[in-house]
Amino acid sequence: MNSMPPLQAVIGLGNPGDEYAETRHNAGFWCVDALARHAGLGFRTDPRLHGETCRLAMGASSVWLFKPQTYMNHSGRAVGALASYYRIAPEAILVVHDDLDLPPGTVRLKQGGGHGGHNGLRDIIGQLGGDFLRLRIGIGHPGHRDQVVGYVLHRPSREERTQIDDAISRAQAVFPDILAGRLSSAMQTLNTPEPSADGR
């Protein structure tokens, strides 16, 4: 996996509405918002696509940033509309999402796979299959599966939010590689564990 065709769409997952804006499940929104903000861009609503879009140029590459406005469980409806309208293949899509299996402060890039219990991914896979890229932003796990729904729909602690924002910043730093299809380089940077404070 030394290179891939350049991406055409980066999709952040989350739930629309002020009541969900700061909840853990919206980490995907936070990431694409950060990318747009850094570039001085604003999102606009596109009713045809059931979402909000803007166009990001980075170096020689340009890509759609997209936030579905269908609620998480129906993300596939919006992502399918975007892919159909712009004729974007699944392999040219990166989905950014929260991940219970990673601790806050962790971010990982992977290609393909299952949904891992994530309802947004489940719905997108139902529309497109599973061949798209994923940027997984760790939010931690509450410890028991019965607590998951309440956990993802609540705000992280201040410390956790700082850790999540730090992870998003690290992802931003490698986006030129991701957008250009240099996935091995991006994965090596993001997927290599950082040394602990004592150097181990």
Is 85 part of any known ligand binding site? no
Q: Is 170 exposed, middle or buried (0-12, 13-18, 19+ CB in 10 A)?
A: middle
25 has catalytic annotation: yes
Mean pLDDT of the chain: 91
pLDDT of residue 15: 97
pLDDT band at 80 (very low <50, low <70, confident <90, very high): very high
Is 71 labeled as ligand-binding?
yes
**Domains parsed from the chain with CATH numbers:** 9-191 (3.40.50.1470)
Catalytic residue among 25, 50, 97, 118: 25
- Whether the per-residue pLDDT at 199 is higher than 90: the answer is no
Is 26 annotated to bind ligand? Answer: no
Q: Is the pLDDT of residue 1 over 60?
A: no
On the question of pLDDT at 193 being above 70, the answer is no
What number is the average pLDDT over the span 108-121? 90
Q: The whole model's pTM is what? A: 0.92
Determine the average pLDDT of the residues in 73-89.
96
Query: Cα angle at 26 between 154 and 90, to 5 degrees?
Result: 145
Q: What is the per-residue pLDDT for 3?
A: 52
